[in-house]
């Protein structure tokens, strides 16, 4: 008998399969769900033909993914850490090996292990063993096998192998996406934001989350819009006009619109003010952004506004000034919210690294520019952030260090932007204490894959409100979205799983690959 775990949300799983793979799954009615969860001792499903039919669909799906016969699938269990698929194979010497593969909840065909993990062996080759069932009892996985001579055999699969592997492989910590996403979509009634609204900066002030988001109309010129939210999840107010527009030549204000095929184009923009980040320091909001004139290398600009003016809808911004060197593509700049060792700290990205610069003041004159001094690099190819990294939201101070939400691209799949997290030393932010082993946010929802650029989740803002971490990001270069996590749990998971060096217990690589990866990160 094949059964599901008692925590298996079959309705949710069926929806995921339908959305992702167009697989026809029979609906599980309320009484079937009650039957499915009724027997808490062994999770047995005895009287539900609907559940049995659905099981066969799911087992068939994973048998196809694993390229094995459906009869070799022992069971499927769904929990918070993912979808655990147990199966076995008979080796050439008649030895039987039991394997575990873990799949991602939000993308059920995405394996989280590089290869299935062997968790048990049956070495009695002279016996003809037949698999009967696998159940989960408390925290143990118990399998019943039957031998032609030996009769029934109850085997408990080694939990230390199962739990340890899942703990290390599962991409924790994770951010949760509310069903209310996206928060903002293009508004056809306002020409300046009719094409796309994305990549929002965020600050928390006066008991509200304030968003400064990049917007484009069909002229493809980037401007900055404003919206606010009291609960951090849903928009309460949206300004009908842009609150920041290009006024300088380096933003393209006095130039014709740029060539949309220019290699410097991002998000379809032909010029303007792109991808803002905002930080409150001493009763002022400082906003850094990408200034693009439509023709030359994009550069970083900075401006500021009195917090009191900002909160009263008086958008009286200081004249912007360029702070990055000419002739270099420099993006993803953000300010730390306080001085460190008496200096202001600015992060920015010159491919492929995050750079950290220290400055005495923020009074840039257009002649003094950021340098590339301290840096945080992409990791080796085995990691998910191996091609390029960039600061996302301005770092947030926590008891465990500076929490940096960052974006990254993988050499193995350069088409997707993913989101990770780091904890940096409070006194020396170039020192990475913990770094997420897996992405904390990926483009898995429809609104993250149906827009100007599919597969992009791009964070530009984050706040802490009511012990909750809110991360604000652009989806598919088209929409403004949010994802959340309990801050304490998030930090705990990050410290528990956020390794900064590669080892074989983490990714199950061979020793030589581990040594090469560690050497590349020195």
Q: Quick check: is 56 in a domain?
A: yes
pLDDT tops 90 at residue 414: no
In this predicted structure, what is the pLDDT of residue 30? 32
Same-domain status, 407 and 443: yes
In this predicted structure, what is the pLDDT of residue 81? 66
CA atoms within 13 A on the CB side of 162: 20
Kindly report which listed range (143-157, 227-241, 344-358) carries the lowest average pLDDT score: 143-157
pLDDT tops 70 at residue 21: no
CA-CA distance, 94 to 240, in Å (whole number)? 71
- Quick one: pLDDT band at residue 122, thresholds 50, 70, 90? confident
Q: Which CATH number goes with the domain that contains 242?
A: 2.115.10.20
Q: What secondary structure does DSSP assign to 212-231, as a single string?
A: EEEEE-TT--EEEEEEEESS
pTM of the predicted model, to two decimals? 0.69
Among 137, 169, 201, the domain-final residue is 169
- Quick one: pLDDT band at residue 500, thresholds 50, 70, 90? low
Same-domain status, 152 and 228: no
pLDDT tops 70 at residue 105: no
Q: Quick check: is 176 in a domain?
A: no
Of 5 and 422, the structure prediction assigns the larger pLDDT to 422
Domain membership of residue 381 as a residue range: 191-520
Average pLDDT for the chain: 83
Q: Residues 6 or more apart from 276 whose CB is under 8 A from it?
A: 199, 200, 201, 212, 213, 214, 224, 244, 287, 288, 289, 460
Helices (H), 134-233: 159-169
Same-domain status, 156 and 202: no
Same-domain status, 90 and 214: no
Same-domain status, 64 and 164: yes
Q: Quick check: is 181 in a domain?
A: no
CA atoms within 13 A on the CB side of 406: 33
pLDDT tops 70 at residue 244: yes
| CA nearest to 352, candidates 437, 425, 410, 416 | 410
Q: Quick check: is 2 in a domain?
A: no
Same-domain status, 341 and 252: yes
pLDDT above 90 as % of the chain? 58
Same-domain status, 299 and 425: yes
Same-domain status, 371 and 460: yes
Same-domain status, 235 and 376: yes
**What is the SS3 assignment for 274?**
strand
Same-domain status, 480 and 369: yes
CA-CA distance, 400 to 423, in Å (whole number)? 7
Same-domain status, 107 and 211: no
For the record, the structure tokens of 100 come out as: 């575990």
Q: Which long-range contacts (CB under 8 A, 24 or more apart) does 38-44 make?
A: 40/6, 41/137, 42/3, 42/135, 42/137, 43/3, 43/4, 43/5, 43/6, 43/135, 43/136, 44/1, 44/3, 44/135
Among 169, 203, 229, the domain-final residue is 169
- Quick one: pLDDT band at residue 478, thresholds 50, 70, 90? very high
How many domains are there within the chain? 2
């Amino acid at each position: 008998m094949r059964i599901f775990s008692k925590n298996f949300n079959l309705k949710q799983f069926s929806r995921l399969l339908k959305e992702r793979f167009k697989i026809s799954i029979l609906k599980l009615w309320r009484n079937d769900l009650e039957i499915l969860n009724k027997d808490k001792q062994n999770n047995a499903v005895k009287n539900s033909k609907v559940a049995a039919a659905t099981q066969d669909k799911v087992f068939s799906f994973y048998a196809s993914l694993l390229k094995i016969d459906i009869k070799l699938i022992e069971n499927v269990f769904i929990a918070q850490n993912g979808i655990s698929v147990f199966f076995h194979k008979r080796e050439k010497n008649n030895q039987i090996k039991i394997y575990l593969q873990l799949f991602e909840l939000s993308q059920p065909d995405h394996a989280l292990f590089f290869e299935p993990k062997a968790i048990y062996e049956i070495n009695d080759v002279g016996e003809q063993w037949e698999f009967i069932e696998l159940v989960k009892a408390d925290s143990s996985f118990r399998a019943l096998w039957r031998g032609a001579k030996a009769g029934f055999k109850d085997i408990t699969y080694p939990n230390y192998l199962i739990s340890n592997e899942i703990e290390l492989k599962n991409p924790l910590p994770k951010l949760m996406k509310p069903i209310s996403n996206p928060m903002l979509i293009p508004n056809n009634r306002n020409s300046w934001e009719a094409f796309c609204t994305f990549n929002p900066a965020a600050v928390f002030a006066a008991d509200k989350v304030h968003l400064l988001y990049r917007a484009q109309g069909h002229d493809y010129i980037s401007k900055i819009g404003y919206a606010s939210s009291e609960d951090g999840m849903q928009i309460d107010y949206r300004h009908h006009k842009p609150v920041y527009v290009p006024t300088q030549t380096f933003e393209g204000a006095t130039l014709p619109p740029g060539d949309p095929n220019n290699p410097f184009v991002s998000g379809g923009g032909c010029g303007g003010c792109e991808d803002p980040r905002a930080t409150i320091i001493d009763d002022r909001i400082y906003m850094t952004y990408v200034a693009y004139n439509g023709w030359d290398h994009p550069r970083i600009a900075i401006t500021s506004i009195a917090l009191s003016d900002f909160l009263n809808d008086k958008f009286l911004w200081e004249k912007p000034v360029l702070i990055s060197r000419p002739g270099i593509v420099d993006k993803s700049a953000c300010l730390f919210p306080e001085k460190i060792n008496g200096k202001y700290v600015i992060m920015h990205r010159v491919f492929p690294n995050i750079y950290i610069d220290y400055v005495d003041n923020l009074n840039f004159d257009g002649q003094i520019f950021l340098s590339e001094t301290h840096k945080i690099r992409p990791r080796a190819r085995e990691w998910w952030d191996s091609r390029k990294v960039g600061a996302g939201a301005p770092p947030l101070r926590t008891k465990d260090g500076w929490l940096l939400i960052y974006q990254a691209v993988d050499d193995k799949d350069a088409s997707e932007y993913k989101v990770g997290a780091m904890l940096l030393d409070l006194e020396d932010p170039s020192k990475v204490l913990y770094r997420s082993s897996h992405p904390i946010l990926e483009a898995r929802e429809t609104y993250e894959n149906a827009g100007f650029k599919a597969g992009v989740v791009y964070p530009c803002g984050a706040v802490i409100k009511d012990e909750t971490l809110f991360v604000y990001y652009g989806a598919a270069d088209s929409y403004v979205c949010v994802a959340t996590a309990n801050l304490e749990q998030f930090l705990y998971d990050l410290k528990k799983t956020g390794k900064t060096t590669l080892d074989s217990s983490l990714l199950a690589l061979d020793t030589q690959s581990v040594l090469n990866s560690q050497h590349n990160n020195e």
